[in-house]
Amino acid sequence: MLERYANIITHANILTQTHKQATDFFVNEKHLGFVAFDAEQNMLVYSYCPQERETQGGRVLVKHADFSVGCFVTTTLLLRCYERLAPMTPLEPAGRHLLMYGSKEGAVGLVLPIAESLYRRLHMLQSRLTTGLQHRAGLNPRGYRAVSRVDRHGARRNVLDGNLLSLFFSLGLVEQGEFAKRIGTTSEQIISDLCAIAEARACL
């Protein structure tokens, strides 16, 4: 009876030749993706989209994001997110899942899917913080987070840097207002966005 199910079916693969040290699923509501951490300290996010031409009829996974994590990731853990359906209400389980990863250097990080509108607003803030703040030792956060090797799909920098965005809390009220005004929003809205992301980690 067991022999009927002893089969492995390959639906799609990745064309890049880098060695993958850890892989896991990436769940965002009804969308399922795949996350891979390679030996060059990069994180790559893929999805199965057979309707797109570049997938060769679904035989190749589509890369949606890449990000340099700066460490050698060896283990991952998928956890369910939490969210508030209305202000001042208890946190409830959401359809999204966050991915926790650990490295052999002892580093721990989180990868969290967010809404498109939230991503666009925080991406503009991240760009302003990158150019408007003085960074440690003059290092460029954008260059540090760029992947070390670009494949034939090109760079897909669709990941926000949580460490950089958290610097917004260390700014004074006047500076917060100035950065928010430059991207067409308010400091209260940005703080609310960042707090919502923090609440999604309530499972920890």
Is 37 part of a structural domain of the chain? yes
Is 67 part of a structural domain of the chain? yes
Is 191 part of a structural domain of the chain? yes
**How many independent structural domains does the chain possess?**
1
Is 204 part of a structural domain of the chain? no
Is 96 part of a structural domain of the chain? yes
- Can you give the pLDDT at residue 157? 76
Rounded to whole angstroms, the Cα distance separating 120 from 189 reads 13
Q: How confident is the model at residue 16 (pLDDT cuts 50, 70, 90)?
A: low
Range of the domain at 59: 2-199
Read off the CATH number of the domain in which 152 is found.
1.10.150.910
Q: Is the C-alpha dihedral spanning 44, 121, 103, 42 positive or negative?
A: positive
- Can you give the pLDDT at residue 1? 47
With a cut of 90, say whether residue 19 has pLDDT above it. no
Query: Across the chain, where does the E strand assignment appear?
Result: 20-28, 31-38, 42-47, 62-68, 73-83, 92-103, 108-111
Give the best-scoring range by mean pLDDT among 55-64, 100-109, 133-142: 100-109
> Residues 77, 71: contact at Cβ < 8 Å?
no
Average pLDDT over residues 152-179: 86
Is 110 part of a structural domain of the chain? yes
Is 73 part of a structural domain of the chain? yes
15, two tokens: 């064309």
With a cut of 70, say whether residue 102 has pLDDT above it. yes
